[in-house]
Amino acid sequence: MKGESHFRFNKQERSGIFFLLLIIFALQGIYFYVKAQPFNGSPKVELNTIAQARLDSLKNAVPKDSLRTFPFNPNYITDYKGYTLGMSTIEIDRLLAHRAADKYVNSKEEFQEVTQVSDSLLTAIAPYFKFPKWANQNRQNNNPNIFKSNQTEIRKATKDLNAATVEELQTVRGIGQTLSNRIIKFRDRLGGFLVNEQLYDVYGLEPEVIKRTLGQFKVVEVPKVEKININSATVEQLASLIYIDFNLAQEIIAYRETNGAYTTLDELKNLKSFPTDRIERIKLYLTL
């Protein structure tokens, strides 16, 4: 007996296949018909030209108040001030390097020579330059030794590190709110800086920043301190110094009790935990 073929369909199945093919052809016809029709509509998302024009005008407009500039001494331009004036970072750095070498510019020509700003920028900002009166007088007299002849006045212009405010310290490139507050706090704990080098003991201050700071601020008025006698001091008295913690104070006393009274302050170097790199600063607060 021959087997039945798997591809034979009954009448009902053939009718179903026929109608399926008919639906497919109908859908294809509708698709190609719609695709061939021209699109006469308009996009649902439209650009509001009036609003766009207003946005463009706002974007290009700069508030006049933000460009308001007051007279200033160009020798003390900060990073932010230079940025607002339109100077590049390289031009600002040239001026700061010039100042770090304890040199000053005394005319717009010298300012351009040092910073190498363009003529157009110089023309825009030079009217706001305000130099000291002595600089203007010497320039009018064509004095070529303007800087050398005024060393005394320049020294007077140096601000006292012990009187500097948080805001004044922030004029130094590299010193922000946190570091300026830290310097003031350290100064208060010391009772005032005795020497400029103590600025190196402030945590977080980079050497380059310290050099720039000492270019503007120095110890002018030295505070009076009551020195501690190392041969009679108690642990608590020694630990009151910012440079000496409680453990080091105990070690200083223990050495004295074992070896007798200190004959020189340099004997402190014999202590294992003593910070020998700061001994000159520590000696400012001790006596025999």
Reported pTM: 0.44
Rounded-to-integer distance, Cα 285 and Cα 225, Å? 7
For position 66, what pLDDT does the model report? Answer: 46
Is residue 154 a contact partner of residue 131, using CB atoms and an 8 Å limit?
no
Q: Say which residue, 56 or 175, is predicted with more confidence.
A: 175
Paired tokens of 26: 């109908």
pLDDT > 70 in the chain, percent: 75
- Length of the chain equals 288
For position 145, what pLDDT does the model report? Answer: 46
pLDDT digits (tens, 9 = 90+) for 72-87: 888 888 877 887 888 8
Q: Which of 131-145, 158-172, 225-239, 259-273 has the lowest mean pLDDT?
A: 131-145
Q: Which residues pair with 287 in a beta bridge?
A: 229
For position 17, what pLDDT does the model report? Answer: 78
Q: For 72, which DSSP code?
A: B
Q: CA gyration radius for the chain?
A: 40
Q: Is 55 exposed, middle or buried (0-12, 13-18, 19+ CB in 10 A)?
A: exposed
pLDDT digits (tens, 9 = 90+) for 120-173: 888 888 888 887 655 555 455 454 444 444 444 444 457 888 888 888 888 888
Rounded-to-integer distance, Cα 56 and Cα 67, Å? 20
Q: To 10 degrees, what angle do helices 89-100 and 207-216 make?
A: 70
* Count of alpha carbons within 13 angstroms of residue 243, beta-carbon side: 20
Is residue 252 a contact partner of residue 246, using CB atoms and an 8 Å limit?
no
For position 67, what pLDDT does the model report? Answer: 47
**What residues contact residue 235 under an 8 Å CB cut-off, 6+ apart?**
246, 249, 250, 253
DSSP 17-42: HHHHHHHHHHHHHHHHHHHHS-----
pLDDT digits (tens, 9 = 90+) for 83-106: 788 888 888 888 888 887 778 888
Q: Say which residue, 271 or 1, is predicted with more confidence.
A: 271
Our CA angle for 163, 167, 171, nearest 5°, is 100
Rounded-to-integer distance, Cα 193 and Cα 137, Å? 36
Mean pLDDT of the chain: 77
Residue 275 has pLDDT above 80, yes or no: yes
For position 6, what pLDDT does the model report? Answer: 54
Rounded-to-integer distance, Cα 151 and Cα 231, Å? 45
